[in-house]
Amino acid sequence: MKKIAIVLLIVMALFTLVGCNSAATTASYNTSQAADNFEVNRRLVMFNGITDKYLLVVEGRLSITADAADKQLEVIVKTGPNEYKKHFLGLSDNVSYFVEQLDASPASEYHYRVFFRPQQVVPDVDLQVSPTDIPKNQ
């Protein structure tokens, strides 16, 4: 019986430790999610570390993924309500980048959001009905 109580105490302590996020960690996560959902204006600057020259500047609603295996950034830019462009920017020993968030994001330490993509939740359905199943106009 004592072993069960000790195991339960250890499990409860682990859940308590796992659930302890700082406000900054939560705000950072929420800000990243807002940026990846194209809600935040950002500026991406690629520069040559040897010459200190800017090579490229991209501004707008950007989602940025660093692909370390391919030594590149994958940048998706929202250009319209349902329009996107994807760019691949190569990195090297002397080319680096920084990303600046231009607008404040509405990140709360208490608020969370769940995004359902209808195309992922609702399967592609072929509907077949007989003429007798269709309601008649009144």
Highest mean pLDDT, choosing among 44-48, 110-114, 115-119, 121-125: 44-48
pLDDT tens digits, one per residue of 16-40: 545 556 777 877 888 888 888 888 8
Note the pLDDT of residue 32. Answer: 84
pLDDT tens-digit profile of 84-104? Answer: 999 999 998 888 888 888 887
Mean pLDDT for the chain overall: 76
Residue among 39, 78, 80 nearest 58 (CA): 78
55 or 27, greater pLDDT: 55
Q: What is the mean pLDDT of residues 57-84?
A: 91
